[in-house]
Structure 1
Amino acid sequence: MAVNNNSGETPPPSLYPLRPYEEMAVLRQALSGVGTEQCFNSNEEIYAARENDKSLYLFTDGYFSFIRVSDGLVLSSARGEMIYGIAECMRPRGGWFLKIEEPCKARVVPVDQAFEIFTQQNLWQTVASLLTWFIQVYSVREEHLLGVTAYVMIRNKLLELNILTPELRSAINVTDYIQERTQLARSTIMAILSQLRRGEYIEIKRGKLISIKHLPKEY
């Protein structure tokens, strides 16, 4: 098969809905006087709800991946400010965890204290707005991966990877990145990437994505 060069144009860089920074700032401010500051190292795994221990994690910066427990699938990755644990503490099911990708700090707040403050300060609408963003992100992710061809999956993950800074991309193997997020066979990924490179649609050096010139919608 060959890449169809007559299809539509590469979409704009904003693949996912804008993160609700204003809402996160409001919640961080409300919880600034409770909990403790903790440091986290790369590859640490955080479970917001474990038996009787439930906490929210308020990160001002960092790089994180959300991992499905059952098979290690990377559901999504995010860099920057993040509040983790609200949904998991409200309705625990243990289906996923947060993996720390680089050293960072967070304010860790016991969930009982956090929820009491949300009620006292009438912040549940703000919480709902934040949770809506998470739902939107995962809805877009499903659009990228369900009911589409292997090429479309790979195309979407290449565009997603291309949004990262060159410094971040320089530490990420493009084949690993796609496989961790799609669970496609490695041979399938490498075959499609090879055709895209031969057609000069993308530039990859030493396994790292350097640039995308154009990615047709169809294969």
Structure 2
Amino acid sequence: MPQLNKPLIEFDILNQYLHTHGTPFVVAEGENILPADKQTNQYTIVILQGCASLSRAQNDVLLGFAQAPCVIGLAAGVMSNQIDYQVATETQCSGYYLPAAQALSLLEKYTLWREAFYWMTWQHRILEMRDTQLVGSNSYNQIRASLLTMAKWDESLRLRVGVMNYIQRRTRISRSVIAEVLAALRQGEYIRMHKGKLLSINRLPLDY
């Protein structure tokens, strides 16, 4: 399996056994996937269509985007998590959710540990890459890494998400600093933007 490629074969196998036990959902853009009376850290969520954002409920720090197909919270039933997360739709999303404890029982019943391991390893590598980009880096390098991340998105997602908002929620760098760096990069024709959205990156200097 190539590094950082989403393990789609393993996802299909997991979905085959989980979907008959899930509560289906179709949620419009800009809404939370789970009902207000349910905590994300107690559920496994499977997104079959659409794109959602994952953020910490406490401080709204953006961890990333989950584009279908995707499983969130597959390991939530293994160990209690004191940090709650919010999964909100960036586009209309459909899929299903089920209690994390039930998902864990299904992994055990149908011997799905290999598939779960592949999926969780992929998620770990994505978060590891995020930490490499942000932890211990100065403001410019965090902004640069965020722009490079956006450049890899599907065009449809890139044209929906504002550059300023994404970088600020992801890094917590002040909006004034982000605006200054973006203006300099646009002036130097390193990036192209339109109405706050990223169109393309020509190249990004290593230092600011």
- Fold-level similarity (TM above 0.5): yes
When Rg is computed on C-alpha atoms for both structures, the one with the higher figure is: 1
Residue 78 of structure 1 corresponds to 66
Amino acid of the residue matched to residue 28 of structure 1? N
**CA separation in 2, counterparts of 1:202 and 1:144?**
19
- The 5-angstrom pairing of residues 197-208 of structure 1 reads 197-208=186-197
**Cα distance change, pair 40–120 in 1 and its aligned pair in 2 (3 A):** same
**Cα distance change, pair 23–193 in 1 and its aligned pair in 2 (3 A):** same
- Of 113, 125, 128, which aligns to 2:114? 125
Q: Structure 2: any 5+ residue segments left out of the alignment?
A: none
Aligned identity (percent) is: 29
- Tell me how far 1:55 sits from its aligned partner: 3.3
- Tell me how far 1:50 sits from its aligned partner: 4.7
1:187 paired to 2:176: yes
**RMSD in angstroms over aligned alpha carbons?**
2.4
Residue 133 of structure 2 corresponds to 144
Question: What is the aligned residue count?
Answer: 204
**Which secondary structure does the structure 2 equivalent of 1:88 belong to?**
coil
- Tell me how far 1:202 sits from its aligned partner: 0.7
**CA separation in 2, counterparts of 1:119 and 1:178?**
40
**Cα distance change, pair 26–209 in 1 and its aligned pair in 2 (3 A):** same
Q: Structure 1: any 5+ residue segments left out of the alignment?
A: 1-13
Amino acid of the residue matched to residue 121 of structure 1? Y
Highest RCO, 1 vs 2 (Cα 8 Å, sep ≥ 6): 1
1:30 paired to 2:17: yes
**Which secondary structure does the structure 2 equivalent of 1:76 belong to?**
strand
Runs of 4+ in 1 over 3 A off after TM superposition: 46-51, 110-113
**CA separation in 1, counterparts of 2:194 and 2:94?**
33
**CA separation in 2, counterparts of 1:44 and 1:89?**
25
1:62 paired to 2:50: yes
- Tell me how far 1:94 sits from its aligned partner: 3.1
- Tell me how far 1:35 sits from its aligned partner: 2.5
**CA separation in 2, counterparts of 1:88 and 1:111?**
5
Asked whether the 8 Å contact 2:74–2:103 carries over to 1, the reply is: no
Comparing 59-68 and 110-119, the one that deviates more: 110-119
Asked whether the 8 Å contact 2:76–2:101 carries over to 1, the reply is: no
**CA separation in 2, counterparts of 1:33 and 1:80?**
18
